[in-house]
Amino acid sequence: MPLTGTGAIAAAPTANGVRGVGAFNVIQLEHAQAIVAGAEAAGAPVILQISENAVRYHGALAPIAAATLTVARAAKVPVAVHLDHATSVELVHEAVELGLTSVMFDASALAYEDNVRATAEVVEHCHAAGVWVEAELGQVGGKDGVHAPGVRTDPAEAAAFVAATGVDALAVAVGTSHAMLTRDAALDFELIARLHEAVPVPLVLHGSSGVADRDLTAAVDAGMTKVNIATHLNQVFTTTVRQALADNARLVDTRRYLGPARTAVAAEVARLLGVLKAAPPLPAPATYHGSGFRGATKQGAVQAP
């Protein structure tokens, strides 16, 4: 299936009732493969995200973008590729040139007027190339060690920001924080509903790894469309690697522990897409037991390499 525009994936839920869109972060090739495999198992569209931090890790955007775009273009379900949390205008321009379908330009740390001006300039450039733009208002905590759980996005200001910048989606602060290792964030569902009523573009929930399943579903019900999840999948990946290495101290072939980790992430992506109502619900994720997974249904299982 051809690479799909992020806007087309994000717009589909509003036409077909309440439904969330899963957006999962890619750090290595195995992440991209796992996320697409999970989406295919669930029969749901998905967004692959490459953050500015991931670009910094790889030393450049082009290598990881090329790999991710290749995986996306070979998928059997609609897949978009998104630049996440870019603070650099130059990086945004590079993403457009490389063929990513959307960007998230994050100027939320700036004063409101400066955020509006910088974001509007990015929107003008991206829209000229047919690229969808997400921005942030009301800084979500947790990036680079900055935690601001009390910050909230004002609905009236959000509506004015969207009108002034022309953005296609808006990330809002409603109680989440990035990089949480526990799933106990307290979301403000009443605020989500007010934002949904006031803002004419899809809302984006960042820091969703810290949100329990039932609250992810409730957030979608209240008006969230795009739901970003990164740290939670990294926990699944790393836990599986640790278990594989603990089970076999002589293991040195990276495929023998990265492969099971990829399979575990794929199963969790498929399950989460059900939680977000992007796909039929799946049972709890399978548990890795060294030689394979137990507990996965035929629908949820993803074949190990």
- 247 is a domain residue: yes
Lowest mean pLDDT among 162-166, 174-178, 221-225, 274-278: 174-178
- 98 is a domain residue: yes
What is the domain-level CATH number for residue 56?
3.20.20.70
- 298 is a domain residue: no
Q: What is the DSSP string of 51-102?
A: EHHHHHHHTSHHHHHHHHHHHHHT-SS-EEEEEEEE--HHHHHHHHHHT-SE
Tell me how far apart the alpha carbons of residues 33 and 262 are, in angstroms, rounded to a whole number.
Answer: 7
Three state DSSP letters for 207-273: CHHHCCHHHHHHHHHHCEEEEEECHHHHHHHHHHHHHHHHHCCCCCCCHHHHHHHHHHHHHHHHHHH
The tens digit of pLDDT for each residue in 73-124 reads 999 999 999 999 999 999 999 999 999 999 999 988 888 899 999 999 999 9
pLDDT at 297 over 50: no
* Average pLDDT, integer, range 273-283: 76
- 184 is a domain residue: yes
- 210 is a domain residue: yes
Higher pLDDT, 296 or 155: 155
pLDDT above 90 as % of the chain: 68
* Average pLDDT, integer, range 10-16: 65
In the DSSP assignment, the letter for residue 143 is B
206: containing domain? 6-291
84 flagged as catalytic: yes
Q: Which of 84, 106, 168, 188 is catalytic?
A: 84
- 108 is a domain residue: yes
- 185 is a domain residue: yes
Per-residue pLDDT band at 56 (split at 50, 70, 90):
very high
Phi, psi of 193 (to 5 degrees): -65, -40
Tell me how far apart the alpha carbons of residues 109 and 237 are, in angstroms, rounded to a whole number.
Answer: 31
Higher pLDDT, 291 or 252: 252
pLDDT at 148 over 90: no
pLDDT at 291 over 50: no
* Average pLDDT, integer, range 253-274: 96
Q: Which residues pair with 135 in a beta bridge?
A: 105, 170
In the DSSP assignment, the letter for residue 198 is H
- For residue 38, count CB atoms less than 10 angstroms from its CB and return exposed for 0-12, middle for 13-18, buried for 19 or more: buried
Higher pLDDT, 209 or 51: 51
* Average pLDDT, integer, range 198-203: 94
How many separate domains does the chain show?
A: 1
- 296 is a domain residue: no
